A = this chain, B = another copy of it.
């Protein structure tokens, strides 16, 4: 194998490939970029959850297929002195030359190593890059992190109904829902996609409105097809929490508040809140909204101007971190908060319900302010 790359382009392709390199694995081939040069050059990587295959513009002087350690290859390429990068395989050694620099690193054979598996493409749909990135950004923080009793919470549910794609993430304490209007109608479908897969695809795409992403969904897999890259991920099987019953159109109080003001206040309240500290942020809705928090570290008190739709006062305890994460995902200047009752969740949503954040109440001992 003998290939001539252009360094900047090569770095772009490596960065895409690295997203499917497991951080901890002892399997040598999983730590590698699989380089296959036939009619085109393709880099393939895979971790336990997904495969990424990307086409790399290059001049192929001799075809071949080998695997090289992804991190080492990446580190070397990024520090090369010239734009022309020659990769030559000599036996079990990959030789990288660029300008006066000459590296030799071990490489592995790809004999008998599978490329990305083929899946049936019966169900396909399209979404633009901007919408795809937005739907991930606005919900992914609500998904459960790390080990969870319920594996489905490590994923996000995607539901397609006619020309609407709804994505939902939840972790047992909060729910985030976002609706995207598609360019045309598709047959109904739904699946649970690992949050990590969604995170990586949203980093790989450009995120532009004129960027077309084709999505293939099967029973077990989801495939994202971009111009030069495909990402294949396994789906999560199981039943997703039926959150619809928590989303009610009944509420006793709707409050409108400036997003930046409440964001800064809640952000400050986090200074006194620590993981092990269970005191919630208390929102007291009267003439204005008073926010207060108390912990071993100290106490905080603030008040914000609000617009109230009903002449109702209420008190609600909530995890300030969940509030701030929802607020940071919202682009509106004003937000609506819906209070149902002390023991029911609080909702933050726009009038069109494009986004809905459902935050469960946290009980607290009301010592006043």
Contacts and interface: CB of A to CB of B under 8 A. Distances in A.
Interface of A: 69, 72, 75-76, 79-81, 100-106, 264-265, 267-268, 271-272, 297-304
A105 B298 contact: yes
A300 B103 contact: yes
B302 A102 contact: yes
A271 B303 contact: no
A87 B305 CA distance: 25
A104 B299 contact: yes
A11 to B, nearest CB: 15
Given A81-B264, A264-B81, A271 B75 contact: yes
Nearest to A264: B81
16 contacts: A69-B297, A72-B298, A75-B271, A76-B271, A79-B271, A101-B300, A101-B302, A102-B301, A102-B302, A103-B272, A103-B298, A103-B300, A103-B301, A104-B300, A105-B297, A105-B299
Nearest to A303: B100
A37 to B, nearest CB: 21
Contacts of A79: 264, 267-268, 271
B264 A102 contact: no
B299 A103 contact: yes
Nearest to A79: B268
A106 to B, nearest CB: 7
Contacts of A101: 265, 268, 300, 302
A282 to B, nearest CB: 14
A35 to B, nearest CB: 16
A15 B233 CA distance: 47
Contact of A106 (B72, B264, B298): B298
Given A72-B297, A105-B297, A302 B268 contact: no
Contacts of A106: 298
B268 A76 contact: yes
Given A81-B264, A265-B101, A72 B301 contact: no
Contacts of A105: 297-299
Given A80-B268, A101-B302, 10 more contacts: A69-B297, A72-B271, A72-B298, A76-B268, A100-B304, A101-B265, A102-B301, A103-B268, A103-B272, A105-B299
A272 B71 CA distance: 12
Contacts of A75: 271
B267 A100 contact: no
B271 A302 contact: no
Smallest CB-CB A-B distances: 9 pairs:
A105-B298, A102-B301, A104-B299, A79-B268, A75-B271, A100-B302, A103-B300, A101-B302, A104-B298
